[in-house]
Chains A and B, each alone.
Chain A
Amino acid sequence: MTAVQTAPPAAPETARQVAHRRWRRSRGILIVLLALVIIGVVLAALRPKVRAEYLDPDSPGQQGARALVEITRQHGTPVTVARSVSAAAGAVNSNPDTLLVIARSERLTSTDLATLRALPGDRLLLEPSGDALEALAPGVETDGVTSGTISPACPLPAAADAGSIDLIGGQVYRAPAGATQCYLGDGRPSLVQLPVGGANVTVIGSGGPFTNERLTDAGDAALGMNLLGSRSNVVWLLPAPPPPGAGGQKSFTELVPFGVKLAVLQAVIAVVLVALWRARRLGPVVVEPLPVVVRSAEAVEGRARLYRSRGAGDRAAMALRAGALERLTALLGMPKSAASDPAMANEIVAGIAAHTGEPQAAIGAALYGPPPMDDAELVRLSGYLDELERQVRSS
Chain B
Amino acid sequence: MALTGRTGLLALLGAAVMVIVPSWWTLLAVNALVVALVAADLALAGNVRALGLHRSGDTNVRLGEEASVSLIVENPGTRRLRAEVRDAWPPSAGATPRSATLSVPPGERRRVDMRLVPTRRGDRRAVSVTIRSYGPLRLAARQLSRRAPWTVRVLPAFPSRRHLPAKLSRLRELTGQHVALIRGQGTEFDSLREYVDGDDVRSIDWRATARRSDVVVRTWRPERDRRIYLVLDTGRTAAGRVGDIPRLDCSMDAALLLGALASRAGDRVDLLAYDRQVRARVEGSTRTNLLPAMVRAMAPLEPELIEADAAGMVSTLLARVRQRCLVVLLTDLNAAAMEEGLLPLLPQLTAKHLVMVAAVSDPRVTEMATARGDASAVYDAAAAERARADRSRVTAELRKYGVEVVDAPPEDIAPALADAYLSLKAAGRL
> Which of A15-23, A228-236, A274-282 lies on the face that meets chain B?
A274-282
* Measured CA separation A383–B372 after assembly (Å): 8
Asked if B163 lies at the interface with its beta carbon under 8 angstroms from chain A, I say no
The answer to whether A308 and B376 touch across the interface, beta carbons within 8 angstroms, is yes
> Which of B110-118, B279-287, B421-429 lies on the face that meets chain A?
B110-118
Q: Which of A281-324 contact B (CB under 8 A)?
A: 282-284, 286, 288, 290-301, 303-305, 307-308, 315-317, 319-320, 322-323
Asked if B182 lies at the interface with its beta carbon under 8 angstroms from chain A, I say no
Asked if B108 lies at the interface with its beta carbon under 8 angstroms from chain A, I say yes
The answer to whether A280 and B380 touch across the interface, beta carbons within 8 angstroms, is no
The answer to whether A7 and B113 touch across the interface, beta carbons within 8 angstroms, is yes
The answer to whether B12 and A301 touch across the interface, beta carbons within 8 angstroms, is no
Q: Which of B341-366 contact A (CB under 8 A)?
A: 362, 364-365
Asked if A5 lies at the interface with its beta carbon under 8 angstroms from chain B, I say yes
Asked if A177 lies at the interface with its beta carbon under 8 angstroms from chain B, I say no
For A309, the closest partner residue in chain B by CB is B379
For A295, the closest partner residue in chain B by CB is B241
Q: Which of A107-159 contact B (CB under 8 A)?
A: none
A336-354 interface code vs B (CB 8 A; 1 in, 0 out): 1000000000000000000
Asked if B149 lies at the interface with its beta carbon under 8 angstroms from chain A, I say no
User: Chain A residues near B11 (CB, 8 Å)?
Assistant: 266, 269-270, 273
Interface residues on B, range: 35 or more
Asked if A58 lies at the interface with its beta carbon under 8 angstroms from chain B, I say no
Question: A267 and B132 in contact (CB under 8 A), knowing A282-B86, A286-B90, A308-B379?
Answer: no
Asked if A258 lies at the interface with its beta carbon under 8 angstroms from chain B, I say yes
> Which of B25-33, B194-202, B264-272 lies on the face that meets chain A?
B25-33
**Shortest beta-carbon distance from B375 to chain A in Å:** 4
The answer to whether A296 and B242 touch across the interface, beta carbons within 8 angstroms, is yes
The answer to whether A284 and B145 touch across the interface, beta carbons within 8 angstroms, is yes
The answer to whether A274 and B368 touch across the interface, beta carbons within 8 angstroms, is no
User: Chain B residues near A276 (CB, 8 Å)?
Assistant: 3
Select which of B21, B379, B384, B385 is within 8 A of A322 by beta carbon.
B385
A29-42 interface code vs B (CB 8 A; 1 in, 0 out): 00000000000000
Asked if A262 lies at the interface with its beta carbon under 8 angstroms from chain B, I say yes
> Which of A48-56, A85-93, A208-216, A374-382 lies on the face that meets chain B?
A374-382
Select which of A8, A291, A315 is within 8 A of B239 by beta carbon.
A291
**Shortest beta-carbon distance from B305 to chain A in Å:** 6
Select which of A259, A283, A378 is within 8 A of B20 by beta carbon.
A259
User: Chain B residues near A307 (CB, 8 Å)?
Assistant: 379, 382-383
A1-18 interface code vs B (CB 8 A; 1 in, 0 out): 111111110100000000
User: Chain B residues near A301 (CB, 8 Å)?
Assistant: 368, 380, 383
Question: A8 and B89 in contact (CB under 8 A), knowing A273-B8, A379-B374?
Answer: no
The answer to whether A322 and B108 touch across the interface, beta carbons within 8 angstroms, is no
Asked if B91 lies at the interface with its beta carbon under 8 angstroms from chain A, I say yes
B99-112 interface code vs A (CB 8 A; 1 in, 0 out): 11010000111111
Asked if B19 lies at the interface with its beta carbon under 8 angstroms from chain A, I say yes
A366-395 interface code vs B (CB 8 A; 1 in, 0 out): 000000000110110011001000000000
User: Chain B residues near A316 (CB, 8 Å)?
Assistant: 378-379, 382-383
Question: A291 and B109 in contact (CB under 8 A), knowing A259-B19, A277-B2, A323-B389?
Answer: no
Asked if A46 lies at the interface with its beta carbon under 8 angstroms from chain B, I say no
User: Chain A residues near B172 (CB, 8 Å)?
Assistant: none
* Measured CA separation A322–B26 after assembly (Å): 91
The answer to whether A323 and B376 touch across the interface, beta carbons within 8 angstroms, is no
* Measured CA separation A6–B110 after assembly (Å): 9
Question: A382 and B381 in contact (CB under 8 A), knowing A5-B110, A286-B127, A293-B241?
Answer: yes
The answer to whether A267 and B15 touch across the interface, beta carbons within 8 angstroms, is yes
Interface residues on A, range: 35 or more
The answer to whether B22 and A257 touch across the interface, beta carbons within 8 angstroms, is yes
The answer to whether B72 and A1 touch across the interface, beta carbons within 8 angstroms, is yes
* Measured CA separation A270–B383 after assembly (Å): 65
**Shortest beta-carbon distance from B410 to chain A in Å:** 10
The answer to whether B132 and A291 touch across the interface, beta carbons within 8 angstroms, is no
The answer to whether B91 and A288 touch across the interface, beta carbons within 8 angstroms, is yes
The answer to whether A315 and B362 touch across the interface, beta carbons within 8 angstroms, is no
The answer to whether A282 and B84 touch across the interface, beta carbons within 8 angstroms, is yes
Asked if A271 lies at the interface with its beta carbon under 8 angstroms from chain B, I say yes
The answer to whether A286 and B89 touch across the interface, beta carbons within 8 angstroms, is yes
User: Chain A residues near B110 (CB, 8 Å)?
Assistant: 3-5
Asked if A199 lies at the interface with its beta carbon under 8 angstroms from chain B, I say no
A87-109 interface code vs B (CB 8 A; 1 in, 0 out): 00000000000000000000000
* Measured CA separation A46–B384 after assembly (Å): 83
User: Chain A residues near B91 (CB, 8 Å)?
Assistant: 286, 288
The answer to whether B113 and A6 touch across the interface, beta carbons within 8 angstroms, is yes
User: Chain A residues near B99 (CB, 8 Å)?
Assistant: 282
For B97, the closest partner residue in chain A by CB is A8
The answer to whether B385 and A308 touch across the interface, beta carbons within 8 angstroms, is no
Question: A2 and B109 in contact (CB under 8 A), knowing A296-B247, A319-B383?
Answer: yes
Select which of A286, A297, A317, A375 is within 8 A of B368 by beta carbon.
A297
The answer to whether A270 and B375 touch across the interface, beta carbons within 8 angstroms, is no
B236-253 interface code vs A (CB 8 A; 1 in, 0 out): 000111100011000000
**Shortest beta-carbon distance from B134 to chain A in Å:** 12
* Measured CA separation A269–B88 after assembly (Å): 32
Question: A323 and B388 in contact (CB under 8 A), knowing A3-B108, A4-B111, A8-B97?
Answer: yes
The answer to whether A277 and B380 touch across the interface, beta carbons within 8 angstroms, is no
The answer to whether A262 and B12 touch across the interface, beta carbons within 8 angstroms, is no
Asked if B235 lies at the interface with its beta carbon under 8 angstroms from chain A, I say no
Q: Please name 8 pairs of A and B residues whose Cβ atoms are closer than 8 Å in the assembled complex, sorted by A.
A: A1-B109, A260-B19, A282-B143, A297-B362, A297-B368, A303-B383, A304-B383, A386-B372
In the complex, besides A301-B383, A304-B379, A307-B383, 18 extra interface pairs with C-beta distance below 8 angstroms are A4-B111, A5-B111, A266-B17, A273-B7, A277-B4, A284-B128, A286-B89, A286-B91, A295-B241, A300-B362, A301-B368, A308-B375, A316-B378, A319-B386, A320-B381, A378-B375, A379-B374, A382-B378
Which residues of B pack against A, CB within 8 Å?
Answer: 2-5, 7-9, 11-12, 14-24, 26-27, 30-31, 34, 72, 84, 86, 88-92, 97, 99-100, 102, 107-113, 115, 120, 127-130, 132, 143, 145, 239-242, 246-247, 302-303, 305, 332, 362, 364-365, 368-369, 372-376, 378-389, 392, 396
Which residues of A pack against B, CB within 8 Å?
Answer: 1-8, 10, 257-260, 262-267, 269-271, 273-274, 276-277, 280, 282-284, 286, 288, 290-301, 303-305, 307-308, 315-317, 319-320, 322-323, 326, 336, 375-376, 378-379, 382-383, 386
The list of the 7 closest CB pairs from A to B, nearest first, reads A283-B130, A259-B22, A296-B240, A316-B382, A274-B8, A270-B11, A375-B375
